[in-house]
């Protein structure tokens, strides 16, 4: 059975019989994401949901799991990103250099 809906401004066709749709509370139990957060994702259009009856919402469990992203960054990636930012930064003016030097001298004296 195919289901069409508007998702982030685009019409999407989905074979709902091939999906792993579960209720919001079940999705919450299986992923550790609170039901309130899942509802917020739905309201913001970041998570598709289907309505079953007048009150029940179901979400694709795989889509909910896809929302989970690691927060920590590998040390190599952080170092690389810092190098990129430093390379993109404009050169300091003499006034900026003086201000930074004064701050560092004050910090070293403390």
Q: Give residue-wise pLDDT tens across range 7-60.
A: 667 776 665 555 688 999 999 999 999 999 999 999 998 998 888 888 889 999
Q: Give residue-wise pLDDT tens across range 79-92.
A: 888 898 989 989 99
Question: To which H or E segment does residue 60 belong?
Answer: strand 56-60
Q: What residue spans define the domains of the chain? A: 2-66, 75-109
Report CA 78 to chain centroid distance, whole Å. Answer: 18
DSSP 2-43: EEEEEETTEEEEEEGGGS-EEEHHHHHHHH---HHHHHHHHH
């Amino acid at each position: 059975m195919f289901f069409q809906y508007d998702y982030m401004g685009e019409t999407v066709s989905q074979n709902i019989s091939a999906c792993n749709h579960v209720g919001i509370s079940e999705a919450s139990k299986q992923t550790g994401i609170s039901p309130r957060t899942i509802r917020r994702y739905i309201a913001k259009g970041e998570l598709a949901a289907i309505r079953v009856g007048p009150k029940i919402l179901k979400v694709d469990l795989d889509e909910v799991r896809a929302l989970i992203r690691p927060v920590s960054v590998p040390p190599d990636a952080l170092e690389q990103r810092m190098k990129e930012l430093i390379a993109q930064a404009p050169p300091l003016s003499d006034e900026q250099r003086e201000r930074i030097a004064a701050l560092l001298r004050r910090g070293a004296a403390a």
